[in-house]
A and B are shown apart, each in its own frame.
Chain A
Amino acid sequence: MSVYSTSQFKNGLKILLDGDPYTIVENQEVKPGKGQAFNRVKIKNLKNGRTIEKTFKSGEKVDAADVMEKDMQYLYTDGEFYHFMDPETYEQFEAAKEAVEDCIKWLKEEDICTVVLWNNSPLTVEPPNFVELKITETDPGLRGDTSGGGGKPATLETGAVVQVPLFVPEGEIIKVDTRSGEYVGRVKK
């Protein structure tokens, strides 16, 4: 297994700590004039998303986490697992429910998304920043109201529910920002 020295610490570096993979969010070196130097880091647990603070003696070695990101195509779910494919190698990966929890509501089959692999199995899946999805259910809006003042919930083809302006009808394809979950606009097809 490869290791990193604290002198290689930088934001985004993936390390293994107590068996869990972490990414470094912030790295600060602290050195008293006449004393031991330390690296104080904020690290995010890639399994549960929680950020914690740890301090290492400068010069210490820390195990690297074999974590990488790959663009993959979402294929289908068999009810238990979610299947993705690397479009370059055609290699297929199956992800557990926990790995896709936050993003599956934005994905429809054949969409490209970012899969974070840890020891070659999907750890988390990130949807594209913007997705275009069809509204499958929403209350009829008020005719002629294009002010966008009010809003109403709309269910999309993937099951996600977003707030849309009153004038947007069922059957319309809309663009959504997956980071905020907010409606961006209608897509003219």
Chain B
Amino acid sequence: MTQRTEQSPLELLKQRAFLLSAIRDFFRQREVLEVETPVLSSAANTDLQIEVFQTQAIAENNQQAFLRTSPEFFHKRLLVAGSGDIFEIAKVFRRDEATQLHNPEFSLLEWYRLGYKMRDLMAEVVELIQYLRQQFDLPAMPVKHYSYQQIFNDYLDFDPFVVNEAELNQMAQQAGYHGEPLDRTAALDFMFAVQLEPKLEKNQGYLIDHFPIEQAALAQAHPELPDRCLRFEFLWGGIELANGYQELTDANEQLNRFEQDNQNRLAMGKTALPIDQNLIKALQQGLPACSGVAVGVDRLLMCLLGLEDIDQVLAFSANSA
């Protein structure tokens, strides 16, 4: 393993190497296979809020290529093909994301566990965080577990599954939102990102699960509560570090969601994007029951080192790349 050194601006490259090495050790001990999957794909992520980089075709049978925004589609194809548990430290790309916590090109640690329920994977995320804290000579982190509903109740004093769009807009305006009325999902995003996250304690971990079904992406619906899904996040203080799902295995449902994404994109004046038919085909063959999660590696390093700006942990940020 690479030796860890004390923090100083010139040592950050070594700190990153140390972190990557510690992550690989963690998964080696658990016999999770490291994989590499393509950066370029003929299909795109249709997610409404993620902007994809586009470039020339990779092969003769396609017209254009897209830089991946996540390795998840390839990972599911590997799982269908019988890879077993896998992880990847993947460079991913998202246009128009440059803030204190975003860089258009960043590293995602993505992993999948066969047979894991959402709860099992949530526990493993916390184990990874605690393992890495230990490696970085930090004490174990207290972690609180909330449902999406409970954390809204506790911190913002309302039930996100009961409140209606008009009430949400009224609250948003009182909290300083200026502009056209927000749709329900965007208003909840406002409440979560602008109102709730800044209230969270700095050195506390937060596991939040059972997000609204509209925010499911690739997660299964909740078996008993149809307005919720089996999606979770891990936040370090107010910073979103991990996003995970008990994975949707139903090919038709997945195709419907991609098509709905494209409808939403068109309604917002964006272009529809080519759906990953290879993924749909793989799901039709049968994705084994599994859960998967993605962790922002740059943010993780930032948090472990107590830094506040993602630029501080990048060798070259967007402005100098």
Contact = CB atoms under 8 A, between A and B. Distances in A.
Contacts of B176: 40, 52-55
Interface stretch (B22-30, B162-170, B183-191): B183-191
Contacts, number: 74
- How many chain A residues sit at the interface, stated as a range, is 20 to 34
Interface residues of B, number: 32
A68 interface: no
Contacts of A37: 49
Interface in A38-55: 38, 40, 52-55
Interface stretch (A28-36, A79-87, A157-165): A28-36
A99 B133 CA distance: 56
Contact of B175 (A7, A33, A55): A55
Given A54-B178, A57-B182, A57-B186, A34 B194 contact: no
Nearest to A61: B179
Interface in B18-61: 47, 49-50
A37 B102 CA distance: 12
A53 B194 CA distance: 11
A29 B188 CA distance: 17
B178 A17 contact: yes
B49 A35 contact: yes
B177 A55 contact: yes
Contacts of A60: 179-180
B81 interface: no
Contacts of A53: 176
B217 interface: yes
A40 B194 contact: yes
B182 A31 contact: no
Given A52-B176, A55-B178, A56-B179, A36 B190 contact: yes
Interface string B65-106: 000000000000000000000000000000011111110000
Nearest to A6: B179
Nearest to A40: B194
Contacts of A40: 176, 194
30 contacts: A7-B96, A17-B178, A30-B99, A30-B193, A30-B194, A33-B233, A33-B240, A33-B243, A34-B50, A34-B215, A34-B217, A35-B49, A35-B186, A35-B192, A35-B193, A36-B49, A36-B182, A36-B186, A36-B189, A36-B190, A38-B189, A38-B194, A40-B194, A54-B177, A55-B172, A55-B178, A56-B179, A57-B179, A57-B182, A60-B180
The 10 A-B pairs at the shortest CB distance, nearest first, are namely: A35-B189, A29-B99, A36-B186, A36-B189, A32-B193, A54-B178, A30-B193, A53-B176, A54-B176, A55-B177
